[in-house]
Structure 1
Amino acid sequence: MAPYVRVGVQGGTLFLGFGSIRRPVHDRALWEPLLRLADHFRTPRTRAEARSFLDGPCGVDAGRAEAVMRLLDDDNHLIPAHTYDPADRYSRHALFYELSGADAVKVQPRLARARVVLLGCGGIGSLVAAALATAGVGELVLVDADHVELSNLTRQFLFTEADIGLPKAEVLARELRRRNRNCRVLPVVRDIGDGADLEHLPAGDLVVVSADSPGLTGMVNAHCVRSGTPWLNACYVNDIAVWGPLVVPGVTGCWDCRPLTARAPEGEPELAGLMARVNGRYQAPSNGPVNMLASSLAALDALRYLGGFGTPAALNRRVGVWSHDLSLDEQKAERDPTCPTCAELVPVCEGV
């Protein structure tokens, strides 16, 4: 029995497991044999041993025994005995992978082989990097030309007052190495001004974009579609934590398939000029908890994609969590067969 399986009664119903694996057991006649078998499974057993226990000491008839076994076999309640090793660094993550229906033994090596390029090491990028490094992603390339400022410290928690004035990418690299010496970290202190700058970066299995330079997402999208590199956007819109879409060239839509951000009206230069002047004074109200929300959900999708477990929530959509009431905002981002950026790609059938 997986260590993450708990049992409890609420509202007259026995629940086997909670969260995404919660199974309500309404048949009162199944409660005792199910609980006795769950207790028996505290020590690793084979299915044959479990059935023998139901038939023997429990004295359960064949029909109820079959129903109890079906309950345990569904929804990842049972996992291989060797999966959970408390002494292993990634043991708790291994349980999460099993909870998601994956073979944890296969997930961790996939992560260890992966290289992620992060564009932006600020409030979101630094937290995504920390989540990936501590999860065992093999290599991170940290790209940012900025230096640590006093105003960063409200939300960029891996930096300290002693780091003010130092390059963010180099400070973040230092902090990640302190947290996982097995993660290879390459800091790149440079601006990304055009596509040529992207060409000079190491190739990655995934690009995560959290930098907010004007035009950067479109530039990254074009580069990644051309090179066949998956990429994920993570940001915030004032008090909305936003992540997605996860673009997998040839599989999903790309950034240009659908209008995902507000833009100046075409063919109306006067209005466009007014909008540019108004927006020119904009300063984002960046907030630590909103940054953490966006970075956590983006990092989870990055791990899902790289590790091959579960389904990334940002596939073919951009999602926002409104922090004031926790409502969700969703923008569809399916592939447009007439998209000028990715229409020529041959569709690929890929399990993500």
Structure 2
Amino acid sequence: MNAFVTLLGGWGESGEAEPIAAALRGLGVEARAASAFGEIDPGSDLVLVLQAERQGAAFNAYALEHGLTWLPVAFSHTVGRLGPIVVPGETACYECLELRGRANGVPPLAPKPSRFDPSWSMVASLAVMETVKWLSRSTNSFAPLSLGHQVEFDAFHLQGEVNPVYRLPTCPSCGLRHQARLAAQPWTEAGLVHRP
């Protein structure tokens, strides 16, 4: 696989990025580190934004402006949320996710100073799996579950949910109401699976 991904955040003391990077490298995927938005190579096939509960909103604006495809990974003690994979101009963005979540009463994940490492290991493994599915989407029949969905997993209680995330036409970041074309429809996300 000639693909490479960038892991934003989680380096250093938190140590969240190292197990993900090691697992990806073990699968033949180059994993690059970034601690700031400007360090991200625009040729990256996917950017995993760790600690999305802290920096997801800010990175969303940056990614939309620079055309970066990214996967938000949020974690709070034992609960992790992955997705949706954000493909600028084609899928729901992070602000669509947040606005719809607030409208439906979904509480945001609160950043916590500690984490339960066995739970983080399971969520990190899910992030690796979703990354590999995204990178190999043109050669296999397994689309990433986080394409068009948010995956929430409580590793301590071994339960989870998969919720669809649709573009919000009135989204201030990616909404298409002001453009003279139709908004992308949810079923068009299937076409992203077969694209190299």
Shorter-chain TM-score bucket reads: 0.7 to 0.9
1:237, distance to aligned residue in structure 2 (A): 2.1
* 1:328 match: 160
1:236–1:290 contact (8 Å) kept in structure 2: no
Matches within 5 A, 1:1-352: 112-120=1-9, 121=11, 122-137=14-29, 139-144=30-35, 192=36, 198-203=37-42, 204-211=44-51, 214=54, 216-259=55-98, 283-308=112-137, 309=140, 310-344=142-176, 347=184, 350-352=191-193
1:116, distance to aligned residue in structure 2 (A): 0.9
Change (3 A) 1:140 1:288: same
- Show CA shifts across 1:222-246 (max 9, x none): 1212222210112322221322221
TM-score where L is the length of structure 1:
0.43
Change (3 A) 1:326 1:283: closer
1:318, distance to aligned residue in structure 2 (A): 1.8
2:52–2:72 contact (8 Å) kept in structure 1: no
Q: What residue ranges of structure 1 are gaps of 5+ in the alignment?
A: 1-111, 145-191, 193-197, 263-278
% identical equivalent positions: 28
TM-score where L is the length of structure 2:
0.74
1:342, distance to aligned residue in structure 2 (A): 1.3
CA distance in 1, matches of 2:135, 2:15: 22
SS in 2 for 1:247: coil
1:136, distance to aligned residue in structure 2 (A): 0.8
CA distance in 1, matches of 2:65, 2:134: 20
CA distance in 1, matches of 2:26, 2:115: 25
- Show CA shifts across 1:71-114 (max 9, x none): xxxxxxxxxxxxxxxxxxxxxxxxxxxxxxxxxxxxxxxxx321
- Show CA shifts across 1:195-247 (max 9, x none): xxx24532211100113683x21121112122222101123222213222211
SS in 2 for 1:340: coil
Change (3 A) 1:212 1:231: closer
- Show CA shifts across 1:20-58 (max 9, x none): xxxxxxxxxxxxxxxxxxxxxxxxxxxxxxxxxxxxxxx
Q: What residue ranges of structure 2 are gaps of 5+ in the alignment?
A: 103-109
* 1:184 match: none
**Larger helix proportion, structure 1 or 2?**
1
Change (3 A) 1:211 1:321: closer
How many residues get paired? 169
- Show CA shifts across 1:266-307 (max 9, x none): xxxxxxxxxxxxx8xx74331221111111111111111111
**CA-atom RMSD in angstroms:** 2.6
1:224–1:249 contact (8 Å) kept in structure 2: yes
Q: Which has the higher contact order (CA 8 A, sep 6+)?
A: 2
Change (3 A) 1:325 1:123: same
Change (3 A) 1:342 1:212: closer
1:321, distance to aligned residue in structure 2 (A): 1.5
1:316–1:335 contact (8 Å) kept in structure 2: no
